[in-house]
Amino acid sequence: MQLESCVRNRDSRTLLFTALIIAALILAGAATAVGGGLVIAARKRKSLGSGGSEPKLLGSGSATDLQERGFGDLRVGDVIMHDATDYIVEGVIRYDEAGHHWSMARIVDGTKSCWLLVGLERTGGASKRILNPTNDVELAGYPPELIMLGEERYNFDKRGTATTELEGDTGSLGGISQNNTGAAAHRCRWWNYSAAGPNALLVEQWGDDYRVLVGAKVSDSEIEMMPGS
């Protein structure tokens, strides 16, 4: 009997010791997994620029350049999202009139193209319009005070003359080449018209040619931009 009791006690101690070893191994494995996960997470945060640095945006330019650029500095390759359509900027006209700057980008989605005008008005924000060229307005000479387009009345607002630089594919502008490097400066005369509501009309003179663009103003909530470079 004493022998059997000793055997049972020894077996119990052996089982208890084995259980303690297994528990210690489980705890050690869990700590290793957690520590490894924390290291991996920290490396990911560092690679993504967290921990005090600003997150990077898509594109090939520097992070600072991409974050600071907005509609006021449109460039070829930028993406414009409006009315459930993603457009690519294929050409940009930059205007300078006595220190006042604005731009107009030719934006394209497949066979569909239009123009995004940014900052023409001398207001606090970068006003935006989506415009399309129209042949429904005939100009025989100096633009009039009133232009009728269908039943819409467009009243003259203001005019001016700007020096422009062209980049990318800006289409045909008074015989100017479609593909531009921005090295040459051109002169453009312009007349701005407004109608009831958001509708707007713009007349530009390039050389001896006039072009008329008509469309509407858009709010910041209706349009987005993603820098492409």
Res 121: pLDDT: 87
If asked whether residues 174 and 77 sit together in one domain, one would say yes
If asked whether residues 143 and 214 sit together in one domain, one would say yes
- Weakest mean pLDDT among 3-12, 14-23, 106-115, 139-148: 3-12
**How confident is the model over 45-86, as pLDDT tens digits?**
333 333 333 333 344 444 444 456 889 899 999 999 999 999
% of the chain surpassing 70 pLDDT: 65
If asked whether residues 137 and 218 sit together in one domain, one would say yes
Q: Which of 92, 116, 76 is nearest to 173 (CA)?
A: 92
If asked whether residues 35 and 113 sit together in one domain, one would say no
Q: Which of 195, 191, 171, 169 is nearest to 182 (CA)?
A: 169
Note down the domain range covering 34. 1-53
If asked whether residues 23 and 74 sit together in one domain, one would say no
| Beta-bridge mates of residue 189 | 161, 205
Residue 159 within any structural domain of the chain: yes
If asked whether residues 39 and 126 sit together in one domain, one would say no
If asked whether residues 49 and 100 sit together in one domain, one would say no
d(CA 106, CA 214): 14
Res 177: pLDDT: 62
* Domain's final residue, options 16, 35, 53: 53
Residue 153 half-sphere exposure, CB side, CA atoms within 13 Å?
4
* Domain's final residue, options 53, 73, 95: 53
If asked whether residues 137 and 178 sit together in one domain, one would say yes
If asked whether residues 108 and 201 sit together in one domain, one would say yes
Is the backbone of residue 59 left (phi > 0), alpha (psi -120 to 50) or beta? left
Res 19: pLDDT: 59
Alpha helix (H) residue ranges in the chain: 2-48, 63-68
Q: 10 Å Cβ neighbour count for 53?
A: 11
**How confident is the model over 92-116, as pLDDT tens digits?**
999 999 999 999 999 999 989 999 9
Residue 154 within any structural domain of the chain: yes
Counting the structural domains of the chain, the total is 2
From residue 153, give the alpha-carbon distance in Å to each of 83, 96, 117, 148: 25, 29, 21, 5
If asked whether residues 34 and 74 sit together in one domain, one would say no
Tokens of 41: 């997470």
d(CA 181, CA 167): 5
Tokens of 98: 């006595």
Tokens of 139: 């100009």
Helix, strand and coil percent figures for the chain, each rounded to 5: 25, 45, 30
Residue 58 within any structural domain of the chain: no
Instruction: Determine contact, residues 169/96, Cβ cutoff 8 Å.
Output: no
Res 11: pLDDT: 54
Could you say which DSSP state residue 173 is in? B
d(CA 100, CA 120): 9
d(CA 117, CA 106): 9
% of the chain surpassing 90 pLDDT: 54
If asked whether residues 107 and 135 sit together in one domain, one would say yes
Residue 211 within any structural domain of the chain: yes
If asked whether residues 113 and 218 sit together in one domain, one would say yes
